Amino acid sequence: MRRKLVAGNWKMNGSLSMADMLISELLPSLVSHQTVQRIDVMLCPPAPYLYSLARQLAGSGVKVGGQTLSEHAAGAFTGEISAQMLCDVGASAVLVGHSERRALFGETNACVAEKFAAAQRQGLLPVLCVGETLQEREADRTWPVVQEQLDAVVSRCGEQAFAAAVIAYEPVWAIGTGVTATPAQAQAVHAQIRAYLRSLDAGSADGVVLLYGGSVKADNAAALFGCPDIDGGLIGGASLEAGQFLAICDAAAGYAD
């Protein structure tokens, strides 16, 4: 019913030649294994590489997304990138509120909600990232933290906000650490998110794609993606290695038949 999605977040890594090389390794395999017919695949490169990547991937079925965007439409905001600009260069989605943006660039829940709204206004699919720190988990605050992150978007965009969005649950303690949430830990939060979505908008909740992110690798992807409310992954480090990323896509495609 829900299509699996595997999204690669390259963060601030690579170069133009690395991007070209990665695509030349990924594309033939994604096409010959018919992966793109069975699941959605998306790549989120650094902004300067978006245009060239989108052109190379045009017609392949692989989607391209931004890593962040401005909440503003246009104007004197030096260094910022608008939703319209992302669309212009071929992006169809954008990450919003990644934990690194929240922790390192001061993005508050309210600011993330504005960015989410800006993406949707432009017809970009927002991939809203939520998740708790280790300290919050240990204090038994995982759900209140995640709910607050979701609620900020709901109060800005309404109870149907997630009907045209993806949510990525990414426990901060699992991002880039090599420590992955167990399938049971991840599924528990995903189920809470789904139940919460149902309470907001029963009509759309079962169709919302919920990704898990945080040290997803080729050897743990299948167990995570086999959980009933985990619809794929947001992949950081492992998306920079063609073999790893392809194996993760194959793990998701294994549940598509």
| Active centre residues (catalytic) | 98, 170
Binder among 67, 149, 215, 244 for ligand PGA (CB under 6 A):
215
- Asked if residue 132 binds ligand PGA (CB under 6 A), the reply is no
CB-neighbour burial class of residue 87 (10 A; exposed 0-12, middle 13-18, buried 19+) = middle
Strands, E assignment, 92-136: 93-96, 125-130
Q: What is the spatial distance between Cα 221 and Cα 103, in angstroms, rounded to a whole number?
A: 26
Query: Segment near ligand PGA (CB under 6 A), from 25-33, 70-78, 150-158, 234-242?
Result: 234-242
Q: CB 80 → ligand PGA: shortest distance, Å? A: 21
Cβ neighbours for 191, distance < 8 A, ≥ 6 positions apart? 228, 229
Site string for ligand PGA, 150-179 (x = CB under 6 A): --------------------x----xx---
Pair 149, 97: CB distance under 8 Å: yes
Strands 209-213 and 166-169, sheet pairing: parallel
CB of 237 to ligand PGA, least distance (A): 4
Selected binder of ligand PGA within 4, 9, 114, 157 (CB under 6 A): 9
Question: Considering the rule CB under 6 A, would residue 149 count as an interface residue with ligand PGA?
Answer: no
- Contacts with ligand PGA, residue ranges (CB under 6 A): 9, 170, 175-176, 213-216, 234-238
